[in-house]
Structure formats: C-alpha cells, structure tokens
Amino acid sequence: MKAAVVHEVGGVPRYEDFPDPVPQDGEVLLRVRAVAVENVDRAIVAGEHYTAARYLAALPMIPTFDGVGELPDGTLVTFGNVRPPYGALAELCAVDPGLTRPIPAGIDPTVLSVLSSAVTAMSIRAAGELEPGQTVLVQGGTGVAGRLTVKIARLLGAGRVVVTGRDDDQLRELRELGADTVINTAVPDDDLLRAYRDAAGDGYHVIADYLWGRPTDVLLRALVPDTFALGRRTRLVQIGEVAGAETTVPAASLRTSGLEIVGAATGLDAESFPAVYEQVLSWVRAGELTVGLATVPLRDVGAAWQRTDLRGRRLVVLPQEQ
C-alpha cells in the first residue's frame, strides 16, 4: 500500500510503499478516506509529545492515529487507536471494529475527520464549566482549535469572548467570528500584562489555554489580585503548549484570586463523551459550526506536512484520491 512514512524522529513523512497491515484477532481492514493532521501529530513525530515514545518505538512508522475509513461492507466509520508502527496516513488500516463509529447522516466525511478539535474546544464547558453570560479568554485563538473555541463559546452563550494571538490580520478575522476583544501577545511583557487586565472587565470566568509558555506566565501575573478581597472564580483549562512546554505559576496567582488550573480532559469520560460529540454534530448539521479545510491527496503529504500558510484551516489528507 501507499503511505506517509516517517524514517527518523523529527522527519518529514515520505509518500512511499509500506507493507499492508495484517489484521490481528478481531480486527478488520478498512480503506482510509480522510485524515486530519493536527498539532499533536506533528509533536509526536518531532518526539516532543508525552505519548511520542509509544509511536516512535519502531521506525519507520506511519503517523496520526485516527480518521475516517470504509469497512469491508462499505460502511463509512470514524476509527482510532491504530497499532504502531501503523498510523492513519495510509491507504489501509487494521482496526478494532469496536472502536469505530458509523458516520452520522448529513455530515461530510472530510469535515467529520476534523471534529476532534471541536470536541477539544468543548472543554470550556466540560472542564471549564462555562455558563451562559460568562467571559471566556481564548489563549491562542488563530489556529483551528482556537477559532472553533471562539465559535463554540458563542454557541454556548458566552457573554464576552476575548482572544489572543500574534497576527493582527488574523485577530481582525477573529472579531468577525465573534470575538469582542483581541490581544496581540507580540508586545513587551508589561504591555501584555496591562492588556490582559484591561480586557478582563469583571474577570475571566473560563480560560482556554492553547499557548502556555511566556503568554501564560504574563497572564498569571495579571490575575494576581491587588487587594485582600476574595477573587472571582477563574478556571484555566490547559489544552496546548504552542508557546512553550513550561510556565511559572506564582503562588499569589492562586491564593485569593479564585484561579483553578485543570486539564482539557477534565469532566470528559466514556459516559459524557457521546453527549458532547452529539452537540458538536448538531451544530455542524445546522450550519452553525463550520471548519476551514485544506485538502490534499496522500501523494502530496511531504509538502503539505511543512505548510505554513494554513491560517486557521485544518490540513486533511485524502488517501484514496487519485
């Protein structure tokens, strides 16, 4: 079969032949139809993600671990948890049918392949416990997941949405998507700290943090209260680390500020996931939630993997396109 093959840690996938996967007990072979390439996939290949060791244990390997495919009986399904060194960026995958889910009616398979980012964005409700009328700060809103978070915050009834980013043109686009206030983080620390405080109004209720690193360092300083009065509850949902893997948490930012830091998976489990997923699907069916896409055939995966012009669109690879 043809596949996107990585030969070394940090390498760029190559379009080449790779042995067909052999199904193990209970597995079936499906034809892959659409695969979204996300930041986590690139981080794993670079050896920078905490799960990378599992996927890079044997090289060469095929990256990404979920997608949309066609079962032998023609049923289109979502699938995941592919066995390394096999990944989803290939013409064929051996999968456990118990981990597949039929594609809902009325949803384009290509769009469906990117909806994991929308589920991640729903962490503002599952982990952040967002309530209608509250203020949301999206740290790093210019990427696909950040833009979806802005839209979902509005769909969930947020009263105000504040968004950060480094590109003024994209920040202007985010105003059109529903952001009330935008903050450019590419300024000196003191100016950024002042911008966070000025935009806070009566406080940030939920923070969706895709950045971590230096911008969150400054944000946490901005959250330090200047009086002994008890602060309003602020729940920071840690989702990504685009700006750095580490940040400093001042003790003063926790003591009386009302700040709580939780992971994006908080509140999401096997019981709650179906309802979250169905909510996302209902918005997509109704045309209320859209995602920018950039589709490419598998043969172009090497160049596509290195693209820097996506500007809020998700790269989707189509292995069966001729």
Higher pLDDT, 232 or 278: 278
Please list the residues that pair with 162 across neighbouring strands.
137, 181
Please list the residues that pair with 274 across neighbouring strands.
none
Q: Are strands 2-5 and 259-263 parallel, antiparallel or unpaired?
A: unpaired
Please list the residues that pair with 67 across neighbouring strands.
79
Q: Among 192-196, 236-240, 249-253, which is the least confidently predicted range?
A: 249-253
* pLDDT, the chain, mean: 93
Distance CA 309, CA 216 (A): 25
State the pLDDT confidence band at 231, using cuts at 50, 70 and 90: low
Q: What is the pLDDT of residue 99?
A: 86
Residues recorded for the chain: 322
Q: What is the pLDDT of residue 229?
A: 66
Task: Answer yes or no: are the C-beta atoms of 321 and 298 closer than 8 Å.
Answer: yes
Average pLDDT over residues 199-226: 94
Beta-sheet strand order (sheet of 206-209): 181-184, 160-165, 135-139, 206-209, 234-238, 259-263
Distance CA 314, CA 316 (A): 6
Tell whether the model's pLDDT for residue 322 goes beyond 60: no
Tell whether the model's pLDDT for residue 162 goes beyond 90: yes
Residue 260 class from Cβ within 10 Å (0-12 exposed, 13-18 middle, 19+ buried)?
Answer: middle
Q: In the chain, pLDDT over 70 holds for what percent of residues?
A: 98
Tell whether the model's pLDDT for residue 230 goes beyond 70: no
State the pLDDT confidence band at 66, using cuts at 50, 70 and 90: very high
In order of their start, the domains of the chain are 2-114+291-318 (3.90.180.10), 118-263 (3.90.180.10)
Task: Answer yes or no: are the C-beta atoms of 152 and 277 closer than 8 Å.
Answer: no
Tell whether the model's pLDDT for residue 135 goes beyond 60: yes
> Which 8-state DSSP code applies to residue 256?
T
13-63 pLDDT, tens digit each:
999 999 999 999 889 999 999 999 998 999 999 999 888 999 999 899 999
